[in-house]
Amino acid sequence: MFRQILVPVGDQPGGEAAAHHAFDLTRLLGGQVTLLRVLMEDSADQRAAAERHLEALALGARRSPVQVVLPAGRDVLSAVAGFAAESRADLIVLGVSADGSPANDGLGLLATRLAAVSGVPVHLTVGQRRAHAMVPARWQQLASVTAPTGGCESTRPEGGC
């Protein structure tokens, strides 16, 4: 299905949620996530900050994502579409802010144009992740039953020591 998931991130508020959503998808479906940052200006400071940002986002992944920083020189749309083609991305994930930020309008327009130019489906996800949103209920139940409580290490469903 979606074996190569591309997550272009920048300074938008939903970037972190987009990365974690892609990590959740690959946990369920398999595949590889690529985190992509397109620089607006190609300076050593900007590149170092972008690499630190991608490394921080990658901490949430069970399997290390590919991390790519592209130099300035092209507009973001062309850079992301070109990279999606080169990397054979099956899905592009973008994050939008949950607060109705004006930046969402720009991301919506970018998503529409990106889908048209690249031919790759673009998935928008909201910037606030729900805890354990992708964890099946039976695993959440198991975790609550086996979690130590007040020094008691009982695994009995009725609790107690």
Q: Could you tell me the residue ranges of all domains in the chain?
A: 4-129, 135-161
Dump the DSSP string for 40-105: SS--HHHHHHHHHHHHHHHTT-SSPPEEEEEPSSS-HHHHHHHHHHHTT-SEEEEEE-TT--THHH
pLDDT digits (tens, 9 = 90+) for 69-118: 998 777 889 999 999 999 999 999 998 877 777 677 777 888 899 999 99
Q: Which CATH superfamily is domain 4-129 in?
A: HUPs (3.40.50.620)
pLDDT band at 42 (very low <50, low <70, confident <90, very high): confident
pTM: 0.75
